[in-house]
Amino acid sequence: MDLATAIGLLAAAGMLVWTLWSGSGGALSTFWDTPSAVLVLGGSLFVVLTTQALDKFLTLFGVLKRSFFVKRRTVAQIIEQIIKLGELARREGVLSLENALGDVEDEFLANGIRLVIDGTAAGEIEQILEAELEAMDGRHSQGKGILDTFGKYSPAMGMIGTLIGLVAMLQSMDDPSQIGTGMAVALLTTMYGAILANMLFLPLADKLSYRHEEEMLLRTVMLRGILSLQAGDNPRVTQAKLSVFLPVNLRDSIEGPGGPKKEE
């Protein structure tokens, strides 16, 4: 899991519990009301379910898991890997890439290299890999969409719960001393909705979105690298073409063809 995400989620939750603890003088139960929690959590779950087909809804967990646990690699690592493949192809021919496929963990990159080995034309490789990218884009934006939908409907369910609570309280306002407690309970659903949306669903949706952009960048680097392999570019040219994807200050840190660049 990304370290920042793990730290962020846990620390935010911890801080919330601590605030509730000190706010209630140690009696966390002050902030707990089962019907309210059921309405907000259950209500948003069912509303989101309404918007989805069952099989799509279930893919959410796969998308989440893959996003958080897949090993992250940097653009620099991808560039170095492609340069090494380029050197191999130059030295021993394109067919020799077959042996190197075992080291290529990324399915997308491996597919591209297989297309190069098969001698597919550049235009066709580009077409096939871009169709893959587009399809991946669709799957990712669907996962993000479900989280966004949760983030949209949980505050709405919170507001509905508070309105119900307020109406119920106002209708039976016999004992003015109960107004405070009634309003406190009514506000709990709004609070639950706000917490769920702003500390869970929306940050995770944002996370998916950033992670998606990162993956698309990696894939674009791979695509350009594969096309450079196919064209039989000199590994130095490949490096020059790909390093534009790095910030200026990181460009020299790449291990170029024939060993670290510093040693040239």
What residues from 47 to 86 belong to the interface with a copy of itself (CB under 8 A)? Answer: 47-57, 59, 72, 74
Angle value at C-alpha 178, between 174 and 184, nearest 5 degrees:
135
Residue 4 interacts with a copy of itself (CB under 8 A)?
yes
Residue 139 interacts with a copy of itself (CB under 8 A)?
yes
Contacts of 63 (CB under 8 A, 6+ apart): 139, 140, 142, 143, 208
Residue 107 interacts with a copy of itself (CB under 8 A)?
yes
Out of 183, 234, 255, 261, the only residue in the binding site for a copy of itself (CB under 8 A) is: 183
CB of 228 to a copy of itself, least distance (A): 13
Residue 34: HSE in the Cβ half-sphere, 13 Å Cα cutoff: 0
What are the angstrom distances between the C-alpha of 206 and each of 28, 53, 61, 71, 86?
Answer: 30, 23, 16, 19, 36
Q: How far apart are CA 67 and CA 213, in angstroms?
A: 12
Out of 17, 28, 101, 135, the only residue in the binding site for a copy of itself (CB under 8 A) is: 135
CB of 88 to a copy of itself, least distance (A): 25
CB of 230 to a copy of itself, least distance (A): 17
Q: How far apart are CA 64 and CA 115, in angstroms?
A: 30
Site for a copy of itself in 13-42 (CB under 8 A): 15-16, 19-20, 22-25, 30-31, 35, 38-39, 42
Out of 137, 166, 234, 261, the only residue in the binding site for a copy of itself (CB under 8 A) is: 166
